[in-house]
Structure 1
Amino acid sequence: MRITKYTILVGTLLIALQACNKDDDGGQEIVPPRDRAEQQIAEAAILKSYLETHFFDTIPNPANPDYNIVTFDTIAGDNKDRQPISKSTLLQSKIVKFEEVDYTLYFLNFKKGAESKRNPTFADSTLITYRGELLYDLTPDDNNINTGKVFDNKVTPVWLDLFSPTAPAIIGFRESMVDYSGASSAVENSDGTVDFSQDFGNFTVFMPSGVGYYDRGSLNIPPYSPLIFTIQLYQINEADHDGDGIPSYLEDLDNDRNVLDNDDNTDGDSLANYSDRDDDGDGILTKDEITSIDANNDGFISSDEITYYDDDGDGIQNHLDKDDRSIKN
């Protein structure tokens, strides 16, 4: 596909927006969130029914031939003989655990992406096009400005930081991206455009609200709304948000796939390690307390390409230990 290199948008997009909770300043009563386990049972049934009673079609978009619009409709009337999504050979699923609840994500796998390319981690930056929609049309009774299904649509590729410091992408979106890869090649043309090979990742994911916006909702998304995203993944950049030589996903110290929590903030300051240039607050930058080299020149730093030190032998690596301040580079 061809895109203009210098007009690619960079941002966290609607996917990553954090909707404000309602309060009683405007006379509205604060309603506690629903029980997650009970809500998941209800939404699992809704998603299962949707997949059994709807079919899909793919329609090319004239504005971007590589951007496939996937449409969904009910199996009824003239469409009574259409195959339900649940019977498609493209349909797969995976379970994501969050807040001690198992959530099932369903995928229509159109293309997994180039085998030669690495999948993004949950904390990387991705170049994508996408279409986000609700399972069902909104009605005016929802008091919502948008009365249709589609709440966001990006036909021109945009960079999405899956774990932006200010607004990380919703869990279901992040956890769907990690199963796909980008295009095998990209060619920059003399006119400033970029052509990607046709083996980029392409899929639709159906997700419950528990790994979406849950009780928060947003301007165009009511609370407790299961979501559908159709995504094309073209390129991946490994994210090192603080530039300390340790990729952000490796700064998830408690391995819970969330780099923002207190367990990933060694010195207890206002910055979690993935966005803190001095993880232990000892005055020596993290990049100077480790040795990080992209040995195979693939553009990614893997864990075995980082040398950690423990000068005092206490089992705590220098960059996480205030007692060790030796500069290694």
Structure 2
Amino acid sequence: MRITKYTILVGTLLIALQACNNDDDGGQEIAPPRDRAEQQIAEAAILKSYLETHFFDTIPNPANPDYNIVIFDTIAGDNKDRQPISESTLLQSKIVKFEEVDYTLYLINFNKGAESTRKPTFADSTLVTYSGELLYDLSPDDDNKNDGKIFDSTVTPIWMDLVRVVPGFRQALTEFSGASSASENPDGTVSFSDDYGNLTAIMPSGLGYYSSGTTSIPAYSPLIFTMQLYKINESDHDADGIPSYMEDLDNDQIVIDNDDNTDGDTLANYADRDDDGDGTLTKDEITSIDANNDGFISSDEITYYDDDGDGIQNHLDKDDRSIKN
């Protein structure tokens, strides 16, 4: 069985996955963002055409022999008989609602991941390798078809906080799971079984950086991410006993917005140790315990209280401050 060996790095998100800042505008007026619904319609047609006129190949990765590089090319000339991506049995799609617009996220499922491992939630931490590229080459005259497309990649697994990545990256990974086993080697590296999640996500700009742009990622660019998912850690960013994904009060799978900030301070609940700002820490207003010792806190392992019976749980109610632990 092939084994992946790497030193695990705890990393922060690089340019490919952080919110991009616009380049210096040189004093010029910045155009307002385009209407999302209209842009979605235009890009849906672009992606449909791309899937119908392009095929993909996998080639060995010289920097990492344990997974392949995915190459996309046009069905033409010597490749005129190749199967389009749209007809591949590996292609799946997922509707993702973001900013009140329904987007189609396309997924090429090379390997779903081990059935024995848990899929990440939209707020978990994931150990991944990935490559991010543009739909089309910025330097089409270059013989290397990927030189002008790839804007970021890593062949060494790094931890990525799904709260902070672009929506398409986040929503793609929640459909996959990690490897079934891992072991530490004498040299300090870690080996993973080869049943890890392996996928490519093709997304409209509305699930990427949309109107933000840099020299390597133009505004309104559809994106392609190829990802390998090795391991998941359930995130509790503020260590209050409530997993971060459970602090999504408005159920939009985004925990950083104002709708998830009970006390209206500078921190959304997932990062706030005192969600209601009553002076009693959230962890002291609930009872949370990993009863089955599986490393994950499920909803039935948390006890919430409502001392004054007003239908609002103590940790979200300034009127209830009693310490329960």
TM-score class normalised by the smaller sequence: over 0.9
**1:30 matches 2:30:** yes
Q: Distance in 2 between matches of 1:153 and 1:169?
A: 14
**1:290 matches 2:290:** no
Q: Distance in 1 between matches of 2:30 and 2:290?
A: 50
Note if contact 1:132-1:227 (Cα within 8 Å) is conserved in structure 2: yes
Shift of 1:229: 0.6
Q: Map residues 1-329 of structure 1 onto 2, 5 A cutoff.
A: 1-5=3-7, 8-21=9-22, 26-139=26-139, 148-163=148-163, 168-329=164-325
2:177 alignment partner, SS class: coil
Shift of 1:296: 1.3
Q: Distance in 1 between matches of 2:258 and 2:190?
A: 41
Note if contact 1:2-1:193 (Cα within 8 Å) is conserved in structure 2: no
Shift of 1:16: 2.8
Note if contact 2:4-2:194 (Cα within 8 Å) is conserved in structure 1: no
Note if contact 1:3-1:157 (Cα within 8 Å) is conserved in structure 2: no
Shift of 1:94: 0.8
Note if contact 2:94-2:106 (Cα within 8 Å) is conserved in structure 1: yes
Q: Distance in 1 between matches of 2:82 and 2:147?
A: 27
Tell me the alpha carbon deviations over residues 284-327 of structure 1, each in whole angstroms, 9 at most, x when there is no partner.
Answer: 11111111111111111111110001111111111111111111
* Percent identical: 77
Q: Distance in 2 between matches of 1:95 and 1:234?
A: 25
For 2:150, give the aligned amino acid.
V
Q: Give TM-score scaled by structure 1 length.
A: 0.93
Shift of 1:20: 2.2
For 2:193, give the aligned amino acid.
S
Corresponding residue for residue 143 of structure 2? none
Q: Distance in 2 between matches of 1:211 and 1:276?
A: 27
Q: Distance in 2 between matches of 1:2 and 1:135?
A: 28
Q: 1:220 to 1:56 in 2, by over 3 A?
A: same
Note if contact 1:67-1:155 (Cα within 8 Å) is conserved in structure 2: no
Q: Distance in 2 between matches of 1:15 and 1:288?
A: 38
1:14 alignment partner, SS class: coil
Tell me the alpha carbon deviations over residues 255-312 of structure 1, each in whole angstroms, 9 at most, x when there is no partner.
Answer: 1111111111111111111000111111111111111111111111111110001111
Q: Tell me the number of residue pairs that the alignment of Structure 1 and Structure 2 aligns.
A: 318
1:203 alignment partner, SS class: strand
Note if contact 2:244-2:270 (Cα within 8 Å) is conserved in structure 1: yes
Shift of 1:9: 3.8
Bigger shift: residues 304-313 or 56-65: 56-65
Q: Distance in 1 between matches of 2:62 and 2:211?
A: 36
Shift of 1:3: 3.3
Question: Gapped runs of 5+ residues in structure 1?
Answer: 141-145
RMSD value over aligned CA atoms? 1.6
Tell me the alpha carbon deviations over residues 192-241 of structure 1, each in whole angstroms, 9 at most, x when there is no partner.
Answer: 11110111100111000011100112331000000001100000011100
Q: Give TM-score scaled by structure 2 length.
A: 0.94
Q: Distance in 2 between matches of 1:73 and 1:174?
A: 26
Note if contact 2:37-2:101 (Cα within 8 Å) is conserved in structure 1: yes
For 1:14, give the aligned amino acid.
I
Q: Distance in 1 between matches of 2:277 and 2:85?
A: 52
Shift of 1:139: 4.2
Tell me the alpha carbon deviations over residues 122-153 of structure 1, each in whole angstroms, 9 at most, x when there is no partner.
Answer: 1110000111111111149xxxxx97011111
Shift of 1:100: 1.9
Q: Distance in 2 between matches of 1:280 and 1:23?
A: 39
2:171 alignment partner, SS class: helix
Q: Distance in 2 between matches of 1:15 and 1:315?
A: 43
For 1:288, give the aligned amino acid.
D
Q: 1:258 to 1:191 in 2, by over 3 A?
A: same
For 1:74, give the aligned amino acid.
T
Corresponding residue for residue 143 of structure 1? none
